[in-house]
Amino acid sequence: MPYKISGSKSETARVIILKESDWSIESNTVISGSGAYEIEELETGNKLVISRTNDGEVLGYGVVSSEYYAPTVGDRGIFASGNSVPGVTIIEYITISTTSDSTDFGDLTEGRSNCMATSNGITGRGIFGGGGTHPTYSNVIDYITILTPDNATAFGDLFLTRDSLAATSNSINDRGIFGGGYATIAVNTIDYVTISTTGNAFDFGDTTVKRYHLTGLSNGTNDRGVFGGGVSSDVIDYITISSAANAIDFGNLTLARYQSGAASNGTGNRGVWAGGANGPLDIIDYITISSTGNAIDFGDLTVARYGIGGTSNSINNRGVFGGGNSGINDNTIDYITISSTGNAADFGDLTLKRTGVTATANA
């Protein structure tokens, strides 16, 4: 039976398939429109699948074997960290465009909760910064290759040791940002790294307000990072990720809260915050990232909770939120369509009930 590769896309793309055996081009095909696709009549064996969209963006699927159907580009979500027991090391993953329970990925370099994660998008590296097991705080940054299940590897150190910070990035432009946090007191530190390298973080500037348990997101390659919420705070502020400087006021969340999950649809320019502590809460609200202004009600989570990890498959428009505390530790994963409004739906479960979760994706 001829081997075929299946997947899905959001727009017309040229899909190129290379044979790993000699790196020759086996197929070079334009796939029209959006939705599912199949490329048939391929030889068995490992493949490297690359696509190029109409606007020139190059998207890599990584190495695919003859028994593996290529996932939607940017479609792997990662959840890590937590405090079901002090210092959870677990990393697990999902395919965001499907619904299912998560699968074990590996372990962080050290157990901690309330660290924060971000990635350089389709380039495929995820990083995890800070966290702690009270009263100890961590300056550790470690990294993974998102498409390759394995244990994390040491990256470097934060500019300031702390937990309960926020993280975001300008995706394939390769700068990761960590903002705010707690280091015996609330801080306003912002620091940055180049995600594709290793090394210690550098000072970037300050958030507008000292706060911790805030959450970050961005409009991807459009270069704006946004921080929302924090303990006793409804503040939203923003930065230009490629330019080191202090944050600027953006507006306010619909309700002051902390330990929310956050996600965006990247270049689609909508950011959402879900859940949080001041309850716990089931509220979801949204902003238009490239503008300024107050957040607007979006809908509700399936379970009210805080300590949630949030991420998305970016331009494919699905946001997912995992874990948290609903009065007890929870393993719920639920999802939304970011460009719409409405209540979240059930996605599946994490492998471990816990709060203080972080999340990222190769999107």
| Distance, CA of 127 to CA of 106 (rounded, Å) | 14
Q: What confidence score (pLDDT) does residue 68 get?
A: 45
| Distance, CA of 236 to CA of 225 (rounded, Å) | 11
Residues 140 and 80: beta-carbon distance below 8 Å: no
Q: What kind of fold does domain 3-64 have according to CATH?
A: Immunoglobulin-like (2.60.40)
The set of residues, in sequence order, having a beta carbon less than 8 Å from that of 68 and lying 6+ positions away, is none
Question: Is there a common fold for 3-64 and 76-361?
Answer: no
Three-class DSSP category at 122: helix
Q: What confidence score (pLDDT) does residue 247 get?
A: 98
Taking domain 76-361, whether its CATH number is 2.40.50.100 is answered by no
Residues 128 and 117: beta-carbon distance below 8 Å: yes
Residues 103 and 55: beta-carbon distance below 8 Å: no
| Distance, CA of 44 to CA of 46 (rounded, Å) | 7
- Segment (H or E) for 256: none
Q: What confidence score (pLDDT) does residue 239 get?
A: 98
Q: pLDDT tens digits, the chain, 363 residues: what are they? A: 356 777 777 778 888 888 878 889 988 988 887 777 778 777 777 788 888 877 777 777 655 554 444 455 689 999 999 987 667 999 999 999 999 999 999 999 999 999 999 999 988 999 999 999 878 899 999 999 999 999 999 999 999 999 999 999 999 899 999 999 999 999 999 999 999 999 999 999 999 999 999 999 999 889 999 999 999 999 999 999 999 999 999 999 999 999 999 999 998 999 999 999 988 999 999 999 999 999 999 999 999 999 999 999 987 899 999 999 999 999 999 999 999 999 999 999 999 999 999 999 999
- Residue 280, preceding peptide bond in cis (omega within 30° of 0): yes
Task: List the domain boundaries for the chain.
Answer: 3-64, 76-361
Backbone dihedral angles phi then psi of residue 321, each to the nearest 5 degrees: -135, 125
Q: Can you read off the two tokens belonging to residue 334?
A: 């639920």
Beta bridge partners of 272: 263, 286
- Segment (H or E) for 118: strand 116-119
Residues 343 and 337: beta-carbon distance below 8 Å: no
| Distance, CA of 133 to CA of 144 (rounded, Å) | 22
The set of residues, in sequence order, having a beta carbon less than 8 Å from that of 35 and lying 6+ positions away, is 8, 9
Q: What confidence score (pLDDT) does residue 65 get?
A: 55
CA neighbor of 308 nearest in space, from 340, 288, 336: 336
